[in-house]
Amino acid sequence: MSTSTHQTKYSTQLQTDPLVTTYYVRDLEFWYGDFNALTNISLDVMPSAITAFIGPSGCGKSTFLRCMNRMNDLIPDTKVGGKMLLKGADIYSSGVDPVDLRRRVGMIFQQPNPFPQSIYDNVAYGPRLQGVKKKSDLDDIVEDSLKRANLWKEVSGILDKNGLAISGGQQQRLCIARVLAVQPEVLLMDEPCSAIDPTSVQKIEDLMAEIKDEVTIIIVTHNMQQAARVSDYTSFFLQEVAGEPAVLVESGKTSDIFTAPIDKRTEDYITGRFG
Amino acid sequence: MSNEELNQNPQNPLDSTVDSAVDPARDANATESMPEAGKESLRTDANPEKKTLTRTPGVTMKELADTAAQREPVPVVRPATKLQLVSRRTQIKEASLASLFFICAFLAVLGVSLIFAFVAWRAFPIVHEIGLWNFLTGTKWSVAEGVFGAVPFIMGSLVVVGGSLIMGVPLAVLTAVFMSEVASPRANAIIRPAVELLAGVPSVVVGFFGVVVVVPLVSQLVGGAGFGPLTAWIVLSIMIMPTITTLSEDALNSIPMGIREASYAMGATKWQTIWKVVIPAARVGIIDATILGMGRAIGETMAVLMVVGNAPQLFAGISAPISTMTSQIVLEMGYSSGTHRTALFGLAAILFLISMSLVLTVRLLSREQHKKRKKVKKGAEA
Ligand SMILES: Nc1ncnc2c1ncn2[C@@H]1O[C@H](COP(=O)(O)OP(=O)(O)OP(=O)(O)O)[C@@H](O)[C@H]1O
Ligand SMILES: [Mg+2]
């Protein structure tokens, strides 16, 4: 446990019952080898809502996001401490299968990363892994997922085209369709819009609003406008001294954070005065 | 209170400062005259329907537009630039280098053409001395009787190459997958030099190993003399493995980490990721590697000569001696004359044509791959 005296400010009180949350995180710590990247992170991620993680570059937003589906397990020599419950279940308790966890918690990356296969095969990848074999079932899933990802109209005639042969913004929506095809409960998005065109950004923001009732969404973004526009809750991360662990400065409803931030540093950051 | 209502909270002081009647027009103006950074933050507000959801933290739209207006660019007249002219020396240097490269390339082309022309010229008398058809379909080769059929050797070469590919390619590709996807850097620090060393072992040494170790082993396990296809397959697998492994590993390593992560994040296991994403993505590179390995196998002479038995007869079991085009040429060229020598040149010509078509296949495949890459690049830029 950390000796830090840091105190996160909450505009909304933390829940006491993990079962009303999607993620219930308490005193989370994270190490890359000897480097303590995160300390003392406690926050709730509420269901059927969009939560934004904001903060300057290098403050551990991606690191924290990757803790939430145990992608950090793939990096050798990393360590997690504290509590991270998904709908009441500790995802780090021994015996939990990270592969199954990742089926339930989808992830979208900053760089669109479709497989060098056809658009159809990209979307059918997850369902096929789960044993869906019937062509008609796959067809339905592919169409439905592409529709939900706001991409169907653009690609319905070119499903056998390589997933890399479409525009970056379309590729990102293809990646979203690929994830939606396995019906995740949570969608983690790590700066999904930072490398793509405005029209696609708009389409992605629209689809986020459309699916958020079924899929809890967490989005990392450097765009304050976007955070304010799409999210219901916001958490502000900060690493004040290089080499020291990053902390959660403030967390709460987006409407509170962006209109009446409690911490001076939050205000400075969202108004662009530092970071 | 629903989230939607939260977002549209009318008491939000920042929202109320935005004059929505004037705004869309101003947005359009501002966007046009504004440099990069400002555009980024404004463009998302260009859609008037979204207005209700828009909140600009800290700065109001009005402030942004005012800032933008102040940034009206003013052109400044500066002295014209002087551009350095290309010096005579550089020109000569460039031109002479270009012709040097051309001469080298030309020599290579000339060499290949000369060799082929020579071989074809020496092989041509087959047409009237043996008959092309007799030569290509004859199954008997007997110097004493003056009968020269190429089939035993063509078949021998194909059997030896085919078998060694069936054994060697999976071995090599699996090694490459292990090195690129599974092994720790420390394990690779041992495996990689070992593979590279194997590539450098002279074929006569591998052949020697075949005669001393593999031949008795095969003879014991399968019966027969031990000299024959099976031994050749084992020996050739060892020889083509380093080429295929190294090139396949390069192909696997060039697959971006991102698509592996994407697969893991979809809930795929390591093996699913390797079989369904990584290997298919590296397919073209692995095929290239295999064809180059095949080229090596078909041209390999010494090691094969030492273990294959060298009996000019048709395939008769994995432990029965056969002969290949290369080994037959080496064995008989020294004392041959007349029609016999012509027939050996005929074998060489066939070998040449087969190798040539392999090289062409590689060229075609890599051109296709190149096209694909270009497409990928275009996609990423758009
Ligand atoms: N694989 C790794 N090994 C060691 N340290 C790492 C690794 N990945 C990230 N870090 C460090 O952890 C800290 C947090 O990085 P992280 O990528 O989570 O930041 P971020 O908030 O996502 O930044 P950005 O906004 O630039 O994406 C940084 O100091 C970074 O250098
Ligand atoms: Mg990041």
Q: What is the pLDDT of residues B68-98, one digit of tens each?
A: 777 777 788 888 888 888 888 988 999 999 9
Residues B185 and B59 in one domain: no
CATH number for the domain spanning B299: value is 1.10.3720.10
Residues B147 and B29 in one domain: no
Would you say residue B17 has pLDDT above 70?
Answer: no
User: Which pLDDT band, with edges at 50, 70 and 90, does B376 fall under?
Assistant: low
Question: For A54, phi and psi rounded to 5 degrees?
Answer: -125, 165
Tens digits of residue pLDDT in B185-194 = 999 999 999 9
Asked if A21 and A233 count as a contact pair (C-beta separation under 8 A), the reply is no
Determine, yes or no, domain membership for A66: yes
Range with top average pLDDT, A72-76, A218-222, B363-367: A218-222
Q: How far is A256 from chain B (nearest CA, A)?
A: 10
Q: Which residues line ligand 1 (CB under 6 A)?
A: A 32, 35, 37, 55, 57-63, 75
pTM score over 0.90: no
A150 in the Ramachandran plot: left (φ > 0), alpha (ψ -120 to 50) or beta? left
Mean pLDDT of A136-140: 96
pLDDT computed for residue B122 by the predictor: 93
pLDDT computed for residue B365 by the predictor: 74
Distance (Å, rounded) from C-alpha B23 to C-alpha B65?
A: 9
Pairing state between β A23-32 and A35-45: antiparallel
Pairing state between β A78-86 and A89-90: antiparallel
For chain A, what is the domain count?
1
Mean pLDDT of B123-150: 91
Encoded tokens for B157: 């070469």
Residues B16 and B135 in one domain: no
Determine, yes or no, domain membership for B19: yes
A119-129 vs A168-180: helix axis angle to the nearest 10? 20
Residues B134 and B29 in one domain: no
Residue nearest to atom 4 of ligand 1 (CA): A32
CATH number for the domain spanning A75: value is 3.40.50.300
Asked if A40 and A29 count as a contact pair (C-beta separation under 8 A), the reply is yes
Would you say residue B24 has pLDDT above 60?
Answer: no
Through-space distance between the first and last CA atoms of chain A, rounded to whole angstroms: 27
Tens digits of residue pLDDT in B305-321 = 999 988 888 888 888 89
Residues B159 and B280 in one domain: yes
Q: Where are the beta strands (DSSP E) in chain B?
A: 141-142, 147-148
Distance (Å, rounded) from C-alpha A67 to C-alpha A73?
A: 8
The rounded Å distance from CA A237 to ligand 2 centre is 12
Distance set, CA B187 to CA B175, B184, B190, B252, B362 (Å) = 12, 5, 5, 17, 32
Determine, yes or no, domain membership for A56: yes
Determine, yes or no, domain membership for A275: no
The ipTM (two decimal places) reads: 0.91
Q: Which has more pLDDT, B63 or A19?
A: A19
Determine, yes or no, domain membership for B375: yes
Mean pLDDT of B17-35: 41
Distance (Å, rounded) from C-alpha A56 to C-alpha A242?
A: 12
Distance set, CA A146 to CA A126, A207, B259 (Å) = 14, 11, 19
Residue nearest to atom 9 of ligand 1 (CA): A63
Residue contact A229–B44, C-beta within 8 A: yes
Q: Name the helix (H) or strand (E) containing B112.
A: helix B88-123
Least confident range of A140-154, B53-67, B189-203 = B53-67
Residues B237 and B337 in one domain: yes
Residue type, B258: G
Which residues lie across from B147 on neighbouring strands?
B142
Determine, yes or no, domain membership for B87: no
Residues B65 and B178 in one domain: no
Interface-testing mutation among B3, B45, B51, with chain A (most A C-beta atoms within 10 A): B3
Mean pLDDT of B234-249: 94
Determine, yes or no, domain membership for A113: yes
Nearest to A255 among B12, B41, B382 (CB): B12
Determine, yes or no, domain membership for B165: yes
pLDDT computed for residue B60 by the predictor: 65
SS3 for A30? strand
Comparing alpha-carbon positions, the chain A residue that sits nearest to B268 is A99
pLDDT computed for residue B30 by the predictor: 41
SS3 for A216? strand
**Domain carrying residue A83:** 9-270
For chain B, what is the domain count?
2
Determine, yes or no, domain membership for B112: no
Instruction: Provide the edge-to-edge strand list for the sheet that holds A105-108.
Output: A9-10, A247-253, A233-238, A50-54, A216-220, A186-190, A105-108
SS3 for A85? strand
Distance (Å, rounded) from C-alpha B306 to C-alpha B318?
A: 16
pLDDT computed for residue B358 by the predictor: 78
User: Which pLDDT band, with edges at 50, 70 and 90, does A47 fall under?
Assistant: very high
C-alpha Rg value of chain B to the nearest Å: 34
Q: Which of A31, A38, A62, A108 to mutate to test the pocket of ligand 1 (most atoms within 8 A of CB)?
A: A62
Determine, yes or no, domain membership for A2: no
Q: Which of A32, A75, A249 to mutate to test the pocket of ligand 1 (most atoms within 8 A of CB)?
A: A32
Residues B367 and B249 in one domain: yes
Determine, yes or no, domain membership for A49: yes
**Domain carrying residue B283:** 124-381
Would you say residue B2 has pLDDT above 70?
Answer: no
Residues B176 and B65 in one domain: no
Distance (Å, rounded) from C-alpha A59 to C-alpha A78?
A: 17
Through-space distance between the first and last CA atoms of chain B, rounded to whole angstroms: 42
Residue contact B58–A229, C-beta within 8 A: no
Compute the mean pLDDT over every residue in chain B, rounded to the nearest whole number.
Answer: 81
Asked if A170 and A151 count as a contact pair (C-beta separation under 8 A), the reply is yes
User: Which pLDDT band, with edges at 50, 70 and 90, does A274 fall under?
Assistant: low
What share of chain B in percent tops pLDDT 70?
80
Encoded tokens for A273: 């005065």
Determine, yes or no, domain membership for A230: yes
Q: Name the helix (H) or strand (E) containing B343.
A: helix B338-381
Residues B64 and B130 in one domain: no
Residues B185 and B295 in one domain: yes
Would you say residue B270 has pLDDT above 60?
Answer: yes
The rounded Å distance from CA A116 to ligand 2 centre is 24
Residue nearest to atom 26 of ligand 1 (CA): A57
Which residues are CB-neighbours of B220 under 8 A, at least 6 positions away? B226
SS3 for B294? helix
pLDDT computed for residue B188 by the predictor: 93
Would you say residue A249 has pLDDT above 90?
Answer: yes
Q: How far is A4 from chain B (nearest CA, A)?
A: 30
User: Which pLDDT band, with edges at 50, 70 and 90, does B41 fall under?
Assistant: very low
Q: What is the CB neighbour count within 10 angstroms for residue B301?
A: 18
Residues B166 and B238 in one domain: yes
SS3 for A90? strand
Mean pLDDT of B240-247: 94
